[in-house]
A and B are shown apart, each in its own frame.
Chain A
Amino acid sequence: MEALSEETREQLGRIGTARVVVGIPTFNNRETIGRIAEASLAALSNHLSSESAVIVNADGASKDGTPEHLREVIGEKVPLIQVRYPMYPVRRLSAPLAGVPGRQEAAGTIFALAKQLGAGVCAVFDADLESVTPEWIERMVAPVLEDGIDLVVPCYLRHKFDGMINNGIVSPFLRALYGKRLRQPVGADLSFSARLVDFYAAQENSSGDAPSFADPWDTVPVIANGFRIGQSFLGPRAVHPREVSPDLSDTLRQVLTTVFDPLERTASFWQKVRSSEDVPWFGPALAVDAEHVDINIKRMIDSFRLGCQDLAGIWNVILPPATLLDLRRMLRLPDGEFCFHDEVWARTVYDFALGYHQRVIGRDHLLKALTPLYLGWVASFVKELQDANAEQVEQRQERLSRQFETQKRYLISRWRWPDRFSP
């Protein structure tokens, strides 16, 4: 964290302690900052009025007057602390999947202040949220204060075909490996307990004045270190459209890097996990939005076929012969009969995780080479569930997750004996 200004130190001294900290990282969010600020104000003055609260704004040197606008909206209603978080050029150049560029540094800055304030809960929300309501704040904060949860991840109301990377890879993969049934493990808005804030603060790399924190949006260290995790039902998540968004292959690369990276560090943990368990739910349950939507899957199947044709040389290095044979069989299927079986998909994801671990080719290339296979799986999933209702979608999702759990033995075998076990 950058050195605190005299004014901030005085402010901290005046406030003393606060039980609830609502953290809002910002970077040029003048247009949308009002919504999350108003929702926070409403939540803190109604649902959480009995708790002492502070809003912490970590800004990455916005040029559109975001901090000034936030000050105007908040006024004197709730104590507001505004600080700068270090914005490194490399962060500014990359297009983040969610939140502000350099969100790790922003979270680190907010955590450091939450620690100084002795906060019992620190909830961090994106500044570009357009659909946030006061209930969201309450549902994210209450499980930590009342139920002793260490990390609350959100569960947004989404369409059955929305968030397919999450549905098809991240959720079943993390469930199979780490044994926690999290529906949306890569949510952008999270709530942390004081214990967890201390955990991240302890990982601070105190080299000079530029500390780097472990990514607080990565749920794996939380699970692997025995923290209690919960999920809260929120409403539909609408965010302000970004100027620059990563394309599909870059999104896959970023997400899968976060998912595959901890595999080596946590190998002894996940290899012992034999089954999965439910994670506590909070808030009113929301069913998947199953409205019928016409999606053209032909282009996705074409993309899969083009990948089979042109990326065979790369896939040969990553995938074992049995999986390649299955893919070749799928290549010959007409569009109407196209089907990517769960077993093949689960093995494919595991093979890419193993390829990532063994560095069979450059990791960025490896992750981007998954794109046509992912699109093939999406096409198959959409084709199957085009007319399905919410319950059928849930059942289908459960079948997929179970298949990932069943195929985990395959991952463990190939992980332990990469040369001896190659089906």
Chain B
Amino acid sequence: MSSQINGVFSQASARIAKSVADFLPGLLAFVLTLAFSALLAFIARRMIRGFLRGIDFDQRLKQWGFSELAEWSPAHSPSLLIAAITYWLIILVGVLIGISALDASLTQVLVLRLFNYVPHVLAAILIVTVGFFLARFFARSVLISAVNMQVQSARLLSLGVKWLVMLLAGAMALEHLGIGGDIVQLSFGILFGGIVLALALAVGLGSKDMVSRSLERQAERSADEEEIAGRFHHL
């Protein structure tokens, strides 16, 4: 009996030892790959940063009209942003290669799924990026136009436009990623419709008098302006 138990234990120990022995080279390979990719990523980051600084990339980007990118980059430097993205991409690739060293079949499935998902992720990133820039552009346009028209709540209007466009972009990106499904569409529809309804109610019921007073003031101002404009031109 005891010899049987000993036999089972020794077999189990041998199996575990074999599994560990089988796994250890893979783990070592994973660690080595990770270390190598980290080193490669570090070198690539330094080289890219140096090169972009050398060609004065940040300043050129401003001249090409992408000044807004600087505002959202670490330390206001798009060069650093590009270097950081490259760094993390190399690390990610290193992790994937490392995992393949651990278990080939698992990695195959993982990589296949990952690559199937990549176009969706890229599309979502593109949508969010374009949405972000559009939101900033529209927000700035609304802010400047509203201030020039002497609208007192120009900043609020601009903020509203910015978040509306960003929400729209966010909802579209989530739909592309397959996260949330109909809930995202539904909640966006409710939110958007709610805002419009709230504004309509506010103007139609709650602020009727205020709106009419504001319109009257506007009409008086326009009449004054027309009288002066008939005589004087800014140009």
Contacts and interface: CB of A to CB of B under 8 A. Distances in A.
Interface string A283-321: 000000000010110010011001100110010010000
Contact of B148 (A186, A295, A372): A372
Contacts of B63: 358-359
Contacts of A251: 234-235
A310 B146 CA distance: 10
Interface in A238-257: 247-249, 251-252, 255
Contacts of A371: 144, 147-148
A249 B148 contact: yes
B134 to A, nearest CB: 12
A136 to B, nearest CB: 19
A306 B150 contact: yes
Interface in A156-186: 159, 161-166, 186
A350 B150 CA distance: 25
A97 B234 CA distance: 11
Contact of B67 (A247, A255, A310, A360): A360
Given A255-B235, A362-B140, A365-B140, A307 B62 contact: no
A166 B147 contact: no
A contact face: mostly helix, strand, loop, or mixed = helix
B: interface residue count bin: 20 to 34
Contacts of A293: 231
A198 B193 CA distance: 61
Contacts of B145: 249, 368
A143 B145 CA distance: 44
A162 B232 contact: yes
Interface centre among B62, B144, B145 (most CB of A within 10 A): B144
Interface in A83-113: 97-98
Nearest to A361: B67
A362 B155 contact: no
Interface in B115-152: 137, 140-141, 143-148, 150, 152
A298 to B, nearest CB: 11
Interface in A204-226: none
Given A163-B234, A306-B147, A307-B147, A362 B154 contact: no
Nearest to B232: A162
Contact of B150 (A161, A302, A358, A362): A302
B182 interface: no
B56 to A, nearest CB: 10
B234 A310 contact: no
Contacts of B143: 310-311, 314
Contacts of A54: none
B235 A165 contact: yes
A362 B235 contact: no
Nearest to B61: A359
A369 interface: yes
B167 to A, nearest CB: 21
Interface in B148-176: 148, 150, 152, 154-155
Contact of A311 (B68, B144, B221, B233): B144
A248 B67 CA distance: 26
Contacts of A314: 140, 143-144
A323 to B, nearest CB: 18
A308 to B, nearest CB: 10
Given A163-B234, A165-B234, A249 B152 contact: no
Contact of A249 (B62, B67, B144, B224): B144
Nearest to B229: A245
Contact of B62 (A98, A299, A358): A358
B62 A310 contact: no
B145 to A, nearest CB: 7
Contacts of B235: 97-98, 163, 165-166, 186, 251, 255
A159 B228 CA distance: 12
Nearest to B221: A299
Contacts of B54: none
Contacts of A98: 235
A47 B144 CA distance: 51
Given A249-B145, A368-B144, A163 B233 contact: yes
Interface string B44-76: 000000000000000000111101100000000
Interface in A44-84: none
Given A299-B221, A310-B154, A358-B63, A164 B234 contact: yes
Contacts of A165: 234-235
A344 to B, nearest CB: 20
A306 B62 contact: no
Interface string B197-228: 00000000000000000000000010010001
Contacts of B64: 359
Contacts of A252: 234
Nearest to B146: A310
A372 B154 CA distance: 13
Contact of A159 (B154, B155, B231): B231
Given A360-B62, A365-B140, A369-B144, 11 more contacts: A97-B235, A186-B235, A306-B147, A306-B154, A310-B146, A359-B63, A359-B65, A360-B67, A361-B67, A365-B144, A372-B147
14 contacts: A159-B231, A162-B232, A165-B234, A166-B235, A248-B148, A293-B231, A299-B221, A359-B67, A362-B65, A362-B137, A365-B144, A371-B144, A371-B148, A372-B147
Interface of A: 97-98, 159, 161-166, 186, 247-249, 251-252, 255, 293, 295-296, 299, 302-303, 306-307, 310-311, 314, 317, 358-362, 365, 368-369, 371-372
Interface of B: 62-65, 67-68, 137, 140-141, 143-148, 150, 152, 154-155, 221, 224, 228, 231-235
